[in-house]
Structure 1
Amino acid sequence: MLVTITRVINWSILFAFIACFSYQIVYLIAPYIKKEKTHKPLQMHRYAVLIAARNEENVLGGLLDSIRAQNYPSELVDIYVVADNCTDTTAEIAYAHGAYVYERFNRVQIGKGYALKYLLDQISLSDNLEDYDGFFIFDADNLLDENYIKEMNMTFNDGYDAVTSYRNSKNFGDNWISHGYGLWFLHEAQFLNRGRMRIGNSCMVSGTGYMISRELIEKNDGWNFFLLTEDIEFTADCIANGVTIGYCERAEFYDEQPTRLSVSWHQRMRWVKGYFQVYKKYGRQLLSKVGKKGGFSCFDMLMSNLPAFILTMIATFAGLTLTILALLTAQDFTSALLCVGKFTVNTSAAMLVLGIYTTLTEWKHIHMAWYRKIGYMFTFPIYMLTYIPIAFMAMFKKVEWKPIAHGSRVTKTPIRTIAS
């Protein structure tokens, strides 16, 4: 009896996954059947780069150098840094690199969202907001490809109020954790956002490496996104209000990923908690627009991430419950356990296929030895499976924003040389 129930639950969850995510096949196919649109006549826009940094003296200089080295007129790019609750030399490094620097000390309103609001408010109070057509947002540990701003400018010039970009990792091959992050971000960029862009759907911002028009900043009265995942909150707000986010696949930047499981665990627990917060705030509004103009983007936003977490947790909880019942009632424990194990095996297999596909399609962008690329494909499912306990904890535990220490001092040497 319990075996039958377990099989029914497994099949029900499988069909639920198919119902929630089969539409993403469209994103897989679209780039191969639909060509990129031709860019509009080029216009050189003026930009401000916004960087919220907390004790980032190890990495900030590298980002600032990569901004100064852009193949884009330097007189059209200004850099603003908010040294947020810093106790190191972050502010001094920013000054030395020619950035406009604001120091913020607030132990109550903690997080990147509050730091960005403060920085934009200061720019507005200085009557400098109207000097810029758009605002880039980066984390202090990022590095930019030399053509990043030039490529983003062409996409922005096509009329988008927000544009995201190709997120790569500068420490891709440090270990299985940093590789797991890096491969997932490449999947988001080229499997999801590229397909969304080709069919005219709104793309989604992922943490850093994006830009916003001044008009959208003014419409929103500055920056007002303060949840644990302010990037997802911003994305949901755009989609719910009919703003289409563009994607520039040729604008590549590099991000530093955690390498310690404890740090990664807390960061991803914050992400999952943030997803819950975003769905609570925007879920009803997004759902009400499904089936209307822009409804496919709303549906996509609703299906992104959270349903997978919920279905996985339901499957895990149901499996454990049925296994315990089998033990207590002396029923066929082995068969029940095998049915539960099938879910884990099937999930791992799906993640392995995703990892292999992403690795092969983005092979040239993953800067490490070929045999390590192949080896780490088989650790990717392990990285993804760790989301199961993380999601459980996020549901019941209070989660707060915590800074992540960055240690990579990569500065001027080409990232392709360092990463290989």
Structure 2
Amino acid sequence: MIISVVQVVLLLGLALLAVPVLVLLVQVVSARRRVSSVIDLSPQRPRIAVLVPAHNEAGGISEVVHGIVRQLGSADRVLVVADNCSDETAKIARAAGAEVTERFHDELRGKGYALDHGVAHLAADAPEVVIIVDADCYLGEQALDTLARRCAWTGRPVQALYLMHTPEGAGPMRKIAEFAWLVKNWVRPLGFHQLGLPCQLMGTGMAFTWQQIGRADLATGHIVEDMKLGVDLAEAGEPALFCPQAMVYSYFPSSDSGIETQRTRWEHGHLSVIQSYVPRLLGGALRRGSAALAGLALDLSVPPLALLVMLVASAWLLTALFWVGLGTVLPVLVASVLVACIAGAVLLAWSGYGREVITLGELMGAFGYVARKLPLYFKFLFNRQVAWVRSKRDSE
């Protein structure tokens, strides 16, 4: 009797774990299909406003603004929101060619409030499309034109391919972080895009019609305001569309403190979103019969890659112990299948997209990377980050 109860409990836990593992595998396999470079774009370029939220970005804002200005048309504009800045961000951004508005508030701090302030500023002369670009991000060739025309043609929010690169000379652990980012922001959304499903918003390289961004609930201190915005728009019937033909990119901080702040914000925010929004989206998908909401819920259910690997490995070890101690064979067999699935997904993603980022030998050292992130996940359980905190830049 005890063995039967234990086996049922283990199998139920494995069934829950199988959902994100299988979603990841489906996304990776789908991403391996050939992607057409031809997409439908509006024949006329809409009037663009590029919105750049910035907090103490004096060290890099000039280069970012210059890159944006080079892609603007005569009717376009770039607005930098210098949010609670104590440096010369505003002055440098103006000198680089941006329109600047400054915002100060002792309590309401964070990117969401900066975006809300910027949208309110734009309302006096509203553009047709608003594109959000972070103050540490650079644009790929014709990124603004592609995003704006795609948004105007589809009437949906459009997310560019957003990649993060490691600084030159970075060690294997940093390369593994870059590979994990590549899987999350390129391989996974591309796989669902191939299946006609929406993607998550990623915080930068996001294009919206004025109607969409004008009515969005932006004035929040949510730790991952981009994920929340993507969910809100999907529930309103306007899920985001992935556009890998447009690219934005940035660089991981080289300092350990900068990386730790960044990872904590992203991963604690993602785990909080899984708890808060996945059940809600699944309920909405069932009520409306919406494949888009179901797809977004499944995508959000996939935790950070390191955590998913850690959970699968732990599940296998636990079921193996019960097999040795109680003779429960089925759970360890199911766990072994999950190990094979996630290993296959990672290897397929590496062979298709990650070879230039990391060698196979370096990838095999990922166990050390996973182990180093254990404190971050324990912190989520006992002292999670709930407020938006900006990552420290290398120039600071």
TM-score of the pair, normalised by structure 2 = 0.80
8 Å contact from structure 2 (residues 284, 290) kept in 1: yes
Q: Does 1:182 align with 2:182?
A: no
226, 233, 236: which is aligned to 2:231? 236
Q: Does 1:402 align with 2:393?
A: no
After superposition, residues 144-293 of structure 1 pair within 5 angstroms as: 144-171=139-166, 174-220=170-216, 223-279=218-274, 281-291=276-286, 293=288
1:359–1:278 distance in 2 versus 1, CA, 3 Å: closer
8 Å contact from structure 1 (residues 167, 185) kept in 2: no
1:142–1:376 distance in 2 versus 1, CA, 3 Å: farther
Partner residue, 2:47? 46
Partner residue, 2:378? 392
Measure how far apart 1:109 and its partner are: 1.0
- Distance in 1, Cα, partners of 2:349 & 2:49: 33
Aligned residues: 386
Which secondary structure does the structure 1 equivalent of 2:153 belong to? coil
8 Å contact from structure 1 (residues 156, 163) kept in 2: yes
Please, which runs of 5 or more residues in structure 1 have no aligned partner? Answer: 327-331, 410-420
Partner residue, 1:362? 353
8 Å contact from structure 1 (residues 183, 355) kept in 2: no
131, 140, 145: which is aligned to 1:136? 131
Q: Once the two structures are superposed, what CA deviation does each residue of 1:381-414 show, in whole Å capped at 9, x if it has no partner? A: 54345444422311221423222122379xxxxx
8 Å contact from structure 1 (residues 64, 97) kept in 2: yes
Cα RMSD of the aligned pairs, angstroms, is 4.0
Range with greater deviation from structure 2 (95-104 or 60-69): 60-69
298, 303, 308: which is aligned to 2:298? 303
8 Å contact from structure 2 (residues 257, 392) kept in 1: no
- Distance in 2, Cα, partners of 1:6 & 1:208: 46
Work out the percentage of aligned pairs sharing the same amino acid.
Answer: 23
Range with greater deviation from structure 2 (313-322 or 43-52): 313-322
Q: Does 1:112 align with 2:98?
A: no
Partner residue, 2:121? 122
Amino acid corresponding to residue 153 of structure 1 in structure 2: A
8 Å contact from structure 2 (residues 152, 209) kept in 1: no
- Distance in 1, Cα, partners of 2:220 & 2:339: 35
8 Å contact from structure 1 (residues 172, 182) kept in 2: no
1:37–1:315 distance in 2 versus 1, CA, 3 Å: closer
Measure how far apart 1:210 and its partner are: 1.3
1:349–1:302 distance in 2 versus 1, CA, 3 Å: same
Amino acid corresponding to residue 395 of structure 1 in structure 2: L
Partner residue, 2:68? 67
Measure how far apart 1:243 and its partner are: 1.0
- Distance in 2, Cα, partners of 1:87 & 1:157: 37
- Distance in 1, Cα, partners of 2:167 & 2:352: 16
Q: Once the two structures are superposed, what CA deviation does each residue of 1:307-341 show, in whole Å capped at 9, x if it has no partner? A: 64798888899999999x99xxxxx99x9xxx99x
Partner residue, 2:22? 22
Which secondary structure does the structure 1 equivalent of 2:150 belong to? helix
Measure how far apart 1:99 and its partner are: 0.5
Measure how far apart 1:30 and its partner are: 6.4
Partner residue, 1:383? 369
1:362–1:65 distance in 2 versus 1, CA, 3 Å: farther
8 Å contact from structure 2 (residues 201, 227) kept in 1: yes
- Distance in 2, Cα, partners of 1:355 & 1:256: 23
Please, which runs of 5 or more residues in structure 2 have no aligned partner? Answer: none
